Chains A and B, each alone.
Chain A
Amino acid sequence: MPISRREFIKISAAGAVGFGVASAIEIPILENQISNERDQITALNNQVSTLQNQLSTTVQEQEAFLTLGVNEQKEVEAIVETIIPSDQNGLGAKEAGVIFFIDHQLAGDYGNNARMYMKGPFVLSGQTGPITVGGITYPQGSPVEPFTGPTYQYNLTLREFWRTGLLALEAYSNSVYGKNFEDLTTDQRTQILTDLYNNKPTSFNDIVPKDFFNELIFMTYSGFMMDPVYGGNNGMVGWILTGFTGANMGDSFNQGRNVLDLMVADKPTRFPPHSLGEFQKIMGEL
Chain B
Amino acid sequence: MSQVIQHTPVDVVVLGMGAMSGTISVELVQAGYKVVGLERGPYWDYASDFYATKYDEWGIGYMRKFDHNLAVSTATLRNNRFQFALPVRRNTAPPGQIISEGYGVGGMAQHYGGVMGRFSPWVYQMYSQTVNRYGLDFLNAAVPHQDIIDWPMTYDDYVPYYEEWEKMWGVCGTNEGILPGFTNYSFPLPPSPTTPVAEAFKNAAESLGYHPYPVPHSLASKAFVNTYGVGVNECLYDGWCGGICNYVCETGAKANAAYRTVPAAQKSSNFDLRLNSYIFRLDTDNTGKVTAARYYDAQGNVHVQPGKVFFNGLWGFNLIKLMYYSNIGTPYDPATITGSLGRGPAMGVPGAVVRTATGTLENIGGNAYPAGNAFGGGYVMYDLADDYFDHTGLDFIGGAYVYFGLYLGGGPGNFLAFAGAPSPSMIGSNFKASLKDRFLPSKITLSIAPYGMWPPTTDWFIDLDPHYTDIYGDPLPRLTMDWGMNTVKCANYLAPKYAEILTKMGATNVTTSANVTTESHTATWPAHIRGGARAGSDQSTSVFNKWQQCWTCENLFAAGEATDATGSNTTTGGTHPAGAASYVAAEGIKKYLQSPGPLV
Contacts and interface: CB of A to CB of B under 8 A. Distances in A.
A5 interface: no
B54 to A, nearest CB: 9
A249 B370 contact: yes
Nearest to A195: B424
Nearest to A264: B193
B290 to A, nearest CB: 29
Contact of B83 (A117, A119, A143, A270): A143
A116 B372 contact: no
Contacts of A283: 51-52
A279 B55 contact: yes
A142 B87 CA distance: 11
Contacts, number: 246
Interface string A120-142: 01010101000101101011111
Contacts of A238: 412
Interface in B66-114: 69-71, 73-74, 77-80, 82-97
B348 interface: no
B70 A116 contact: yes
A117 B87 contact: yes
Nearest to B52: A280
Interface in A206-234: 213-214, 217-218, 221-222, 225-227, 229-230
Contacts of B469: 119
Interface stretch (B10-18, B56-64, B271-279): B56-64
Given A227-B57, A264-B193, A144 B426 contact: no
A28 interface: no
A110 B371 CA distance: 30
A112 B368 CA distance: 35
B86 A145 contact: yes
B422 interface: yes
B174 interface: no
A281 B499 CA distance: 45
A147 B438 CA distance: 22
A149 B421 CA distance: 9
A141 B56 contact: no
A228 B558 CA distance: 44
B196 interface: yes
Given A141-B84, A263-B193, A263-B370, A190 B428 contact: yes
A143 B196 contact: no
Contacts of A229: 56
Please provide the 10 A-B residue pairs with the shortest distance between their CB atoms, ordered closest to farther.
Answer: A243-B440, A268-B441, A217-B422, A244-B412, A226-B58, A147-B421, A247-B55, A140-B82, A148-B96, A117-B74
26 contacts: A89-B436, A115-B63, A136-B466, A138-B83, A140-B83, A142-B78, A146-B96, A146-B525, A147-B96, A147-B421, A149-B62, A152-B89, A194-B424, A225-B413, A241-B432, A242-B415, A242-B435, A242-B436, A242-B438, A243-B438, A259-B239, A260-B193, A260-B237, A263-B367, A268-B442, A283-B51
